[in-house]
Amino acid sequence: MTSYRMRDRLIRDHTVTVPLDWSAAGDGRTIEVFAREVAHVDRVDAPLLVFLQGGPGGKGPRPLPGGDWIDEVLKTHRLLLPDQRGTGRSTRVERASIAGMDGARAAAFIRLFRAEQIVADLEHIRREVFGGVRWQTLGQSYGGFLTLTYLSFHPEALAASYVTGGLTSTQPDAAEVYRRTLPRVAAKTAEFYRRHPHDADVVARVVDVVEGSDVRLPGGDRLTARRLQTLGHEFGMKPGFDRVHWLLDEAFSRPGVLSDHFLAAVDDATQYWGNPLYALLQEEIYAHGRGATAWAADRMRAELGGFEPDLRPVPFTGEMFFPWTYDEVASLRPFRDAAHALAEDEDHPRLYDRERLAANEVPVAAAMYYDDMYVDFGQAEETARFVPNTHLWVTNEYEHDGLRQDPRIVRELIDRVVAEGGPLS
């Protein structure tokens, strides 16, 4: 452990060695998992709250000054910020991780970075670093999925759980997820064009250029219309419309010629050098028991229609990955065979135990955003009804990044649990 102080915060960095595969813990293969403990210097023994990062494939946030949700949590809690296996300062998944592996072997390796393994890592940290203390969790987005996995298999570890924008179905089906969320993407796209009507012409002209010539991004990839469409993944965040608008504002350096600034920004927004697991596990987070995900987003896009790049105004797509992504995006190309093998796999570990969830005693407070583009509100509502002791706060004040935009959200959730009798002891 390394301990140091930054302003009014005491920080302890922990690194533990864990099995690569908890279901075969004796095979000798290990990885490292890193977690950063942060406390206000006046409250170093406060109750411990673990942040479950969104993603998948997201590292824990790095604490910065500025009155964000971390400051709010530190008023009453210590905070543990794990880098989930495969990310950040934990043993990372990168191109070199699968060098020399065929698609099936690489897919088997990548499957070891799913939720059930992440929760097992956290349990090891709880027991070995913190003496088995019962702790609280805060799950943002995919962190809410992890919360349900944690409640399924180790509810005895949890005193309370808080979720922001991340209650998912306990009977996951990737195709059903995209059947519900793709219409939300279309609605967000329509709202974007209503706010910025001039951008409809700009996007159409950009598509005409990239479809009519070989336009290369700074990294060497060819820019295609369908890759441009994926910028719509921004639309589920509060600043998303403005980010895309200002990007388009500088699309052309002169008529018919896309600017270097624009091309660099598009390249950066559609690469995954630092988090390939975000792409690789995007459908795997719904893989539960029997049945292949089979490129569910691509199938649902074709089934629903209305996302073809030759339409005007040009439609955008959202938080989803397609078979062609692994051909066209340099950072994902080394993972192409693994991605196809993952999509074809028929057999998966269980993500959730519905019997245990139906008997849940851990207090759960969840904020769900009615207009969330990424996590379907209908499925969240079903899960809140199914899991006892879940207190659902529904609001349309925020987008998916509400926790980042307003630290009062986490305080509201903590207060709701306190009002219902407080965390378990």
Residues tagged active-site:
141, 347, 400
- The three-class DSSP label of residue 193 is helix
- Provide CB contacts within 8 A for 89, sequence distance 6+: 15, 34, 59, 83
CA distance 131 to 123: 11
Q: Other C-beta atoms within 10 Å of 358: how many?
A: 11
Q: State both tokens at 136.
A: 């609280």
Burial of 396 (0-12, 13-18, 19+ CB in 10 A): exposed
Q: Other C-beta atoms within 10 Å of 242: how many?
A: 14
With beta carbons less than 8 A apart as the criterion, state whether 137 and 417 touch. no
Nearest to 232 by CA among 138, 132, 314, 123: 314
CA atoms within 13 A on the CB side of 239: 5
β-sheet bridge partners, residue 249: none
- For tokens 């009155």, the residue is 67
Residue 291 Ramachandran class (φ > 0 left, ψ -120 to 50 alpha, else beta): left
79, amino acid identity: L
Nearest to 372 by CA among 181, 175, 206, 170: 181
Sign (positive or negative) of CA dihedral 170, 292, 334, 221: negative
Concatenated DSSP letters for 264-330?
HHHHHHT--SS-HHHHHTTTGGG--SB----SHHHHHHHHH----TTSSSPP---S---TTHHHH-T
- The three-class DSSP label of residue 385 is helix
